[in-house]
Structure 1
Amino acid sequence: MKKHFNLLITKFLLIAPVLGFIGQIFSNMDIKTAILTAGIITLGTYLSGDLVLLLQYGTKTALAGEAVITTAIYWKMSNITEGAIISFPGILFATALIVLGEWYYHPYLLKNLSKRPRITAKNITAASTKSKNKTKSKSKNHKKRKQSHK
Structure 2
Amino acid sequence: MDHVKALILKFVMVEVMVYIVLGAAMKVSIGDTLLISLILTIAAYILGDLILFKAFGNPIATISDLVIAFFAIWLVGSLIIEPNIPLITGSIISAVLIAAGEWFFHKYMARNVFENDHVKEAHSPNL
TM-score norm. by structure 1 comes to 0.71
Change (3 A) 1:74 1:8: same
In the other structure, the counterpart of 1:91 is: 91
- Give RMSD over aligned pairs: 1.7
Higher helix share: 1
Select between 108-117 and 58-67 the one with higher mean Cα deviation.
108-117
- Is the contact between residue 26 and residue 86 of structure 1 (CA under 8 Å) also seen in structure 2? no
Matches for 1:1-150 after TM superposition, within 5 Å: 2-83=1-82, 85-115=85-115
Number of equivalent positions: 116
Runs of 5+ in structure 1 lacking a partner?
118-150
Cα distance in 2 between the residues matched to 1:115 and 1:24 = 36
Superposed CA deviations along residues 8-64 of structure 1, whole A, max 9, x for unmatched, are 001011110111111124533100010111111110000000000000011111111
The answer for unaligned runs of 5 or more in structure 2 is 118-127
| 1:101-123 deviation digits (Å, cap 9, x = unpaired) | 01111111111123467xxxxxx
Hey, what's the Cα distance between the residues in 1 that align with 2:86 and 2:18? Answer: 11
Contact 1:12 1:38 in 2 (8 A): yes
Note if contact 2:18-2:94 (Cα within 8 Å) is conserved in structure 1: yes
Q: Which has the larger radius of gyration?
A: 1
CA distance in 1, matches of 2:56, 2:81: 38
Once residues 77 and 88 of structure 2 are traced to their aligned partners in structure 1, the CA distance between those partners, rounded to angstroms, is 10
Letter in 1 for 2:47: S
Say which SS state the counterpart of residue 29 (structure 1) adopts: coil
Counterpart residue type for residue 69 of structure 2: T
Q: Give the TM-score of the pair, scaled to structure 2.
A: 0.83
Residue aligned with 1:65, SS: helix
Does structure 1 conserve the Cα–Cα contact (< 8 Å) formed by 2:78 and 2:87?
no
